[in-house]
Structure 1
Amino acid sequence: MKLALTLCLLALPVSAECYNWPLSGEPYDGDTFAVTVPGLPDELARVSVRVRGVDTPEIEGACGAEKEAAIRARNYTSEWLSGGYEICSLEWGKYGGRVVADVVQESRILAQDLIVRGLGREYNGGARKGWCDDQLGD
């Protein structure tokens, strides 16, 4: 199944082009949601999108504060996406079946909006810091 998904997605151009694929359900968290890619068989059409440039708290967080922050970030992302969006500059993520992309609305960028509102922090790959007090040391 994963091989079939990979082969179908390889047929899609990975470029600076933008797409307005519809959401597939609600966002998982503030920086991850799924879309339905038109033209693919149903079992392959759902693709996970990781928002480039931001890390938000995890729904399955290490502490209650992280989980609560994750829900706030997810709710913001859900509302933000409901205003229409495009997925641009797609590239393959480090986890199979997932793309990393810029998510934009006209001149707004989801990653920047999450960071400015304190719902996420800048992330450009590598190890991520935790979101619980005991994990935030410098």
Structure 2
Amino acid sequence: MYRQALLSFLILSSTVYSADKKSYGTIIVKEVTSVYDADTFKVNIDGWPAIIGERIPVRAYGFDAPEIKGKCQKEKGLALVAKQLTVEALNNAQVIELRDIRRGKYFRIIADVYVDGVSLTDMHLQAGTARPYAGESRQGWCEP
């Protein structure tokens, strides 16, 4: 059973990787297991085999937030503020949806994240803890 699921997953993931930006719909998160930074966290997903549904990394699409391991103290401080917004939003959520899911590099799910129907991207942009991002070159956070 697991061997067949793993084989199916490997075939699907190679197809996903080659199918540039193909969407695989929406899923509901069962549980958030950890939050790394403002736009990266891990989740459990009901009904998926453990190998692809437990502690699976998610990258929220649509915004660029400062990095925890940033290049300067300013960026690191901003990253903690941005992370806290994500932690509070996810911890207080009744429903977390991953919409327009697709596979990114590093085996992560890339998705538009919605917390009780509100976009996590919009939350960060309105709070000033992130910038819009759609894959272009990132701007630094260390300049004055």
Q: Fold-level match, TM-score > 0.5? A: yes
> TM-score normalized by structure 2?
0.77
Identical-residue share of aligned pairs (%)? 31
Q: 2:97 aligns with which of 70, 86, 89?
A: 86
**4+ runs of 1 displaced by more than 6 Å?**
none
Aligned match of 1:70: 79
Q: What TM-score, normalized to structure 1?
A: 0.80
Query: Structure 2 residue aligned with 1:98, among 95, 102, 108?
Result: 108
Match of 2:18 in 1: none
**Structure 2: distance between partners of 1:22 and 1:40:** 15
> 1:28 aligned to 2:36?
yes
Distance 1:82 1:31, change over 3 A: same
Question: Structure 2, unaligned stretches of length 5 or more?
Answer: 1-5, 14-22
Higher normalized helix content (fraction of residues): 2
Counterpart residue number, 2:118: 108
Q: How many Å separate the matches in 1 of 2:79 and 2:102?
A: 25
Structure 1 counterpart of 2:109, one-letter code: V
Secondary structure at the residue paired with 1:96?
A: helix
* Per-residue deviation, 1:22: 1.1
In the TM superposition, what is the alpha-carbon distance from 1:45 to its structure 2 partner?
2.2
Count matched residues.
Answer: 129
Unaligned 5+ segments in structure 1 are none
SS of 1:102's partner is: strand
* 3-state SS of 2:122 partner: helix
RMSD: 2.7
Could you tell me how far 1:37 is from its partner in structure 2?
A: 2.9
Q: Hey, what does 1:125 align to over in structure 2?
A: 135
Deviations for 1:101-127, whole angstroms, at most 9, x for unmatched residues?
Answer: 011123310001101111000000021
Letter in 1 for 2:41: F
